[in-house]
Structure 1
Amino acid sequence: MIARIVLELGPWTWWVIGLVLLAAEVLVPGVFLVWIGIAAILTGLVSLALWETGFWIWEVQLVFFALLSVAAALAGRKIVSRAGNTSDEPLLNQRGASLVGRTALLEEPIAEGRGRVRLDDTTWIVDGPDLPVGARVRIIACSGRQLTVESA
């Protein structure tokens, strides 16, 4: 059945498949079918050139399309990742990192390198030089839920 469809449409089979995949990309989010659609159209271009040769049977075309689809998807992934999806809020989900540079008052003294500071609605564990309660500190680094401070 596949062979009959390919023979009836000729090299245009791949053009039709490619255009259907590109149209489906509009309905399916994710920018994935674009690359497979491009691979189908490129397979159609090659089919136009090689249609009359004896070795360009539908099985060879299918293998060529599969290899080209994988290559196009990998190339597309690299292109999309290189686009650099920069955010206007780069620290949005990194609360600790967004605190670096702020100053606060110690809620508990830093004794033996550890203490607590309150920032907004959260109490944070801090490490730094020994300081008394109420000392002003500047946050210089964050590691998980622990902040590193210095005297401000």
Structure 2
Amino acid sequence: MAWWLWMVLGFLLLIAEMVTPGLFLLFFGVAGMVVGLLKLLGVTGPVWMEWVLFSGIAVVSLLLFRKPLLARVKQRSGEDVDRLEAEAAVAMEDIAPEKVGRVELRGSPWSARNVGASDITRGQRCRVEHVDGLMLRVRAD
């Protein structure tokens, strides 16, 4: 295969990675570009060797780097949500203890569970104690 075909394949796989979750196609895209570069330098050998290199580079890099990259991405995405803890929200409806209702925080409505012992009435301020996915754990202020 021509070197530029490997580069195009790698580039298309990298674009596909941007629209699919999981950091999976990234490694195949990089492998395609590496094989394209090696082909350009003339060190790949026959076509079957190019495919072996492509597969080997993709699988080895996937096994070595996917888990650390996923952990890093998850860590970054959690940082913004963690900043919501200890902030004040306003109840949009009455929320009994251990029940779920709606609160407004930073101008956006959120689902919230009242983890306190007292009722939270509509319009009352409450504190975010914990963020659990898209659910806030709140307590009356």
With the length of structure 1 as denominator, give the TM-score of the two structures.
Answer: 0.50
CA displacement 1:24-51 (0-9 Å, x = unmatched):
4797572723123145357x4365xxxx
Identical residues among aligned pairs (%): 15
**1:116 offset after TM fit, Å?**
2.8
Letter in 1 for 2:59: L
CA displacement 1:50-76 (0-9 Å, x = unmatched):
xxxxxxxxxxx3332221111223355
| Closer/same/farther in 2, CA of residues 137 and 22 from structure 1, 3 Å limit | same
Q: Which structure 1 segments of 5+ residues have no match?
A: 1-13, 48-60
For the pair 1:113 / 2:98, whether they are aligned, the reply is yes
Instruction: Please show how residues 17-56 of structure 1 align to structure 2 within 5 Å.
Output: 17-18=2-3, 20-21=4-5, 24=8, 28=12, 30=14, 32=29, 33-40=32-39, 44-45=42-43, 47=45
Letter in 1 for 2:129: I
**Please, what is the CA RMSD of the aligned residues?**
4.3
Give the whole-Å Cα distance in 1 for the aligned partners of 2:100 and 2:140.
13
Give the whole-Å Cα distance in 2 for the aligned partners of 1:28 and 1:107.
47
**1:109 offset after TM fit, Å?**
4.0
117, 122, 128: which is aligned to 1:130? Answer: 117
Letter in 2 for 1:45: V
| Closer/same/farther in 2, CA of residues 109 and 82 from structure 1, 3 Å limit | closer
Aligned to 2:49: 64
**1:135 offset after TM fit, Å?**
4.4
Larger radius of gyration between Structure 1 and Structure 2: 1
**1:121 offset after TM fit, Å?**
4.2
| Closer/same/farther in 2, CA of residues 71 and 64 from structure 1, 3 Å limit | same
Query: In terms of mean alpha carbon deviation, does 120-129 or 62-71 score higher?
Result: 120-129
Query: Does 1 or 2 have the higher relative contact order (CA < 8 Å, sep 6+)?
Result: 2
What is the number of residues matched between the two proteins?
A: 119
Letter in 2 for 1:103: A
Give the whole-Å Cα distance in 1 for the aligned partners of 2:131 and 2:65.
32
The answer to whether the 8 A contact 2:93-2:103 is kept is no
